């Protein structure tokens, strides 16, 4: 069983036009393995080390460091952790040994019976989220910037502004909302998923194929395109 300990709450606020103050959440999962999810910015070294010390975990005793995506406020301080497995976006490595894992095909990476890493792209092309089951808070998802903060449930601009692909991110968000009791977002405190977001969302993928021809009559090329559309149906 794991304890989810947020060592630093993420934050983000616009201080003036063109200038934002932001820092990413840093989370320790303490249990059969010691796991850090996101390592803050390069200026968070002391916060990270003192937080670990307070909870009795030496940097050498960390088994996994997982960075949800490659933005600078989520990947500082990696070189404090020399003896663990590093997972950054879809890369899995220990020292110079890179282990192939097919996150890109949607395959989760299982650490043990309680902790899985899911590909949840959209904010960038290769984000991951960490799913922790059977905690004191039920199932907790540590998601990086897939969710900015609790308020982004009601105000989509908060997550869509920084999104490389809002359509893809929306699908990843739904995948998480279906299973998580609590979320640790990238830029706000941990929050409980409101029940209306858990129970009333069903996703139907529609796919349709169509063909078209292009080119001059002599060398016309026929192309088949498949189109996917995501429809959200609210049910109860
Ligand atoms: Zn980011």
Q: What six digits make up the tokens of 220?
A: 């016309």
Q: Which residues pair with 209 in a beta bridge?
A: 226
Question: Residue 221 — very low, low, confident or very high, per pLDDT cuts 50/70/90?
Answer: low
Contact criterion met (CB below 8 Å) for 27 and 2? no
Other beta carbons within 10 angstroms of residue 91's beta carbon come to: 16
Cα 219 to ligand 1 centre (Å): 46
Cα 86 to ligand 1 centre (Å): 18
Tell me, yes or no, if the pTM score tops 0.75. yes
Cα 146 to ligand 1 centre (Å): 8
Give residue for tokens 């809002």. Answer: 166
Give residue for tokens 């940097």. Answer: 59
pLDDT in tens, 91-102: 999 999 999 999
- HSE at residue 199, side-chain half, CA atoms within 13 A, is 4
Cα 16 to ligand 1 centre (Å): 20
Cα 145 to ligand 1 centre (Å): 5
Q: Which residues pair with 38 in a beta bridge?
A: none
- Cα angle 165, 168, 173 (rounded to 5 degrees) comes to 115
Cα 129 to ligand 1 centre (Å): 13
pLDDT in tens, 19-78: 999 999 999 999 999 999 999 999 999 999 999 999 999 999 999 999 999 999 999 999
Cα 45 to ligand 1 centre (Å): 19
Cα 217 to ligand 1 centre (Å): 48
């Amino acid at each position: 069983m794991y304890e989810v300990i947020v060592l630093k709450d993420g934050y983000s606020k616009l201080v003036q036009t063109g200038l934002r103050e932001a820092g990413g959440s840093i989370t320790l999962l303490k249990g059969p393995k010691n796991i850090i999810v996101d390592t803050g910015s390069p200026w968070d070294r002391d916060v990270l080390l003192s937080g670990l010390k307070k909870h009795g975990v030496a940097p050498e005793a960390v088994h996994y460091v997982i960075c949800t995506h490659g933005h600078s406020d989520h990947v500082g301080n990696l070189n404090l952790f020399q003896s663990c497995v590093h997972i950054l976006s879809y890369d899995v490595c220990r020292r110079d040994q890179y282990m192939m894992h097919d996150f890109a095909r949607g395959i989760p990476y299982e650490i043990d019976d309680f902790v899985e890493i899911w590909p949840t792209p959209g904010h960038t092309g290769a984000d991951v989220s960490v799913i922790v089951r059977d905690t004191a808070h039920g199932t907790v998802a540590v998601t990086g910037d897939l969710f900015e903060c609790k308020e982004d449930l009601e105000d989509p601009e908060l997550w869509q502004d920084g999104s490389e692909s809002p359509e893809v991110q929306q699908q990843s968000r739904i995948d998480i909302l279906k299973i998580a009791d609590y979320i640790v977002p990238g830029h706000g405190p941990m929050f409980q998923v409101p029940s209306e977001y858990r129970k009333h969302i069903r996703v139907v993928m529609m796919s349709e194929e169509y063909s078209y021809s292009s080119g001059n009559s002599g060398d016309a090329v026929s192309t088949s395109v498949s189109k996917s559309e995501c429809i959200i149906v609210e049910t109860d």
